[in-house]
């Protein structure tokens, strides 16, 4: 049986993963999310060095990552996905080297890469739930403007939406949620926690809001089914959650193909 | 001209705008006033600074020199060239029209009648054709009940038939609503009947004035060629060496032309 703080953390993560995952899908930020996750290990190492918690270290690195990306992108020399590739792998390599120099065992690094519940203390859970709640609140507060910006940045800008700030805010929110979820799902698979439920929801959703809410429900389902499975069979949590999530996606895809042959 | 208020009732008054990008003067001492009831068509070759000028008129960017003044409380509706909706975003036309504004369902229905998009209201935005999308964008621009519509090559991606329909709609709205229009368009021959004033931009304002006089301007002809000039000229006997005109400066002040 899972303890209460784990269930609550799971629900908080799933709740924010729905709407945030939608933006990752709509705005094609999947590779950005991956890059952010790769940089998280460096955040852990920095946290160890300067003596703050892993989560704070990861968020610091996430903000730094987003700022560096925006700055390099503005130079308009290299494509965004090239920049992300450089940044992500530089950060991952630096993180791995730093972790090894700091004497972290392979088991510890493994846990960060694939996720584990071992270190999810009630105290950490409170932080994670707080971070998710804050992110969700911000997403809801600025929802209409964010959706308008997603339909057309030009139009949103002309109508007075501060698009630069909104985009940076989305990047930072992703950093917060990635940092919050990494313990459970792991660096390698964190992006799928965001994009698979949202993509499944897209198969039948008719409005942005319906897609976000269904995404949250599907993410909850995947995590609440996946976590006990992983515990029972002593498996890494991340891969099991993603397997369940993909299974749900396939089920919904099949149902859609059977019932509504014409994809709109 | 450092005065703090608009002396006239111009909706937008831009004076001596200069914008320098990477060492190049994209806009060079451009002045433009938009008054009530104006129907201004802005033309110019690619890279002439038309979109940059629009962005400054909308106050989205700050010029390196000069200033843009809006009549206080001015409501502007903006129609972009085109928008592409990612199919992963499920959103109906109706929802799009009410996004991030205080528009009510009733008002949307009335507006939709006006722009002839009533049958489209429940269609997904990503399923619209080019012409339908432009009408939807126009409808959204009208939700604020604007005094001025600014359109950036709104019919650029439409076929000839779609262009005609779109411009007819613009003209109807102009007549009915008594608003002002500033439109970037290369299809001068299609908007001639409504256009009160043509402004020809090539980093500076080359010439401006009534369509028929602009068509005879040597600078216009040197940029757009004789064919375009002939296409525009309403008077059949117009020819390029007409000396009766000067650069028609209209009421603009401080233009960069010499």
Q: What is the pLDDT of residue A117?
A: 80
Q: How confident is the model at residue A133 (pLDDT cuts 50, 70, 90)?
A: very high
* Sheet strands side by side (includes B65-70): B24-34, B12-21, B65-70
What is A4-188's CATH number, 3.30.70.890, 3.90.1150.10, 3.30.200.20, 1.10.3470.10?
Answer: 1.10.3470.10
Query: B89, A26: Cβ pair inside 8 Å?
Result: yes
Q: Which domains does chain B have, with CATH numbers?
A: 1-75+148-258 (3.40.50.300), 83-145 (no CATH)
- Cα B15 to chain centroid distance, Å, stands at 18
Mean pLDDT of B23-52: 90
Distance CA(A191)–CA(A169), nearest Å, equals 18
Q: What is the pLDDT of residue A53?
A: 81
- For B129-184, the pLDDT digits (tens) are 999 999 999 999 999 899 999 999 998 888 888 888 899 999 999 999 999 999 99
Predicted confidence (pLDDT) at residue A213 exceeds the cutoff of 80:
yes
Distance CA(A139)–CA(A150), nearest Å, equals 13
The string of DSSP letters for A66-78 reads HHHHHHHHHTTSS
Q: What is the pLDDT of residue A185?
A: 85
The string of DSSP letters for A49-60 reads HHT--HHHHHHH
- For B2-34, the pLDDT digits (tens) are 444 445 589 999 999 999 988 899 999 999 999
Contact residues on chain B for A28, CB-CB shorter than 8 A: 86
Query: A26, B137: Cβ pair inside 8 Å?
Result: no
**Who has greater pLDDT, B108 or B193?**
B108
Distance CA(A6)–CA(A184), nearest Å, equals 9
Instruction: Name the CA dihedral angle for B108, B112, B113, B119, rounded to a multiple of 10 degrees.
Output: -120
- For B188-228, the pLDDT digits (tens) are 777 777 788 889 898 999 888 888 788 778 887 887 777 77
- For A219-263, the pLDDT digits (tens) are 999 999 999 999 899 888 889 999 999 999 999 999 999 886 554
What is the distance in angstroms between the Cα of A20 and the nearest Cα belonging to chain B? 13
What is the distance in angstroms between the Cα of B32 and the nearest Cα belonging to chain A? 19
Strand pairing class (B204-209; B197-202): antiparallel
Q: In this predicted complex, what is the ipTM?
A: 0.86
Which of A148, A161, A211 is nearest residue B90 as measured by Cβ atoms? A211
Pick from B111, B172, B183, B188: nearest CA to B144: B111
Q: What is the pLDDT of residue B232?
A: 64
Q: Is B125 on the interface with A (CB under 8 A)?
A: yes
Domain ranges for chain A, please list them: 4-188
- For A30-85, the pLDDT digits (tens) are 999 999 898 988 998 888 888 888 888 888 898 899 889 989 988 888 998 899 99
């Amino acid at each position: 049986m899972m303890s209460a703080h784990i269930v609550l953390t799971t629900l908080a993560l799933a709740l924010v993963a729905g709407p945030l995952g939608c933006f990752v899908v709509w705005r094609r930020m999947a590779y950005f999310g991956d890059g952010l996750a790769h940089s998280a290990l460096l955040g852990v190492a920095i946290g160890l060095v300067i003596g703050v918690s892993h989560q704070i270290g990861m968020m610091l690195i996430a903000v730094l990552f987003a700022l560096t990306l925006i700055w390099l992108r503005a130079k308009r020399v290299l494509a965004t996905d090239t920049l992300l590739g450089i940044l992500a792998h530089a950060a991952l390599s630096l993180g791995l080297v730093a972790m090894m120099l700091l004497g972290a065992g392979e088991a510890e690094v493994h846990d960060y890469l694939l996720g584990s519940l071992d270190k999810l203390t009630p105290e950490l859970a409170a932080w994670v739930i707080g971070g998710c709640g804050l992110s969700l609140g911000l997403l809801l507060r600025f929802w209409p403007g964010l959706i308008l910006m997603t339909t057309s940045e030009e139009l949103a800008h002309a109508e007075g939406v501060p698009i630069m700030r909104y985009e940076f805010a989305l990047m930072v929110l992703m950093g917060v949620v990635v940092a919050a979820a990494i313990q459970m799902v792991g660096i390698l698979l964190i992006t799928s926690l965001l994009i698979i439920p949202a993509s499944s929801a897209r198969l039948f959703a008719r409005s942005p809001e319906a897609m976000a809410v269904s995404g949250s429900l599907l993410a909850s389902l995947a995590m609440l089914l996946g976590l006990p499975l992983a515990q029972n069979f002593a498996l890494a949590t991340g891969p099991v959650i993603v397997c369940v999530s993909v299974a749900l996606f396939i089920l919904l895809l099949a149902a859609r193909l059977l019932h509504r042959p014409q994809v709109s | 001209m450092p005065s703090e208020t608009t002396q006239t009732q111009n909706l937008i008054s831009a004076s001596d705008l200069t914008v320098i990008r990477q060492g190049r003067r994209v806009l060079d001492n451009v002045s433009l006033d938009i008054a009530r009831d104006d129907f201004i068509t802005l033309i110019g070759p690619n890279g002439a600074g038309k979109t940059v000028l629009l962005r400054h008129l909308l106050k989205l960017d700050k010029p390196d020199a000069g200033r843009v003044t809006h009549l206080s409380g001015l409501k502007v509706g903006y129609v972009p060239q085109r928008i592409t909706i990612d199919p992963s975003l499920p959103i109906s036309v109706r929802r799009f029209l009410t996004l991030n504004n205080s528009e009510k369902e009733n008002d949307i229905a009335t507006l939709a009648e006006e722009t002839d998009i009533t049958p489209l209201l429940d269609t997904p935005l990503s399923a619209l054709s080019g012409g339908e999308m432009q009408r939807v964008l126009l409808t959204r621009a009208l939700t604020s009940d604007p005094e001025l519509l600014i359109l950036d090559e709104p019919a650029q991606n439409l076929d000839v038939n779609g262009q005609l329909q779109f411009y007819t709609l613009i003209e109807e709205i102009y007549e009915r609503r008594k608003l002002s229009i500033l439109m970037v368009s290369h299809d001068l021959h299609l908007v001639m009947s409504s256009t009160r004033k043509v402004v020809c931009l090539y980093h500076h304002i080359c010439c401006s004035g009534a369509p028929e006089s602009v068509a005879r301007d040597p600078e216009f002809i040197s940029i757009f060629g004789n064919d375009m000039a002939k296409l525009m000229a309403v008077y059949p006997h117009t020819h390029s060496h007409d000396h009766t005109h000067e650069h028609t400066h209209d009421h603009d002040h401080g233009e960069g032309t010499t």
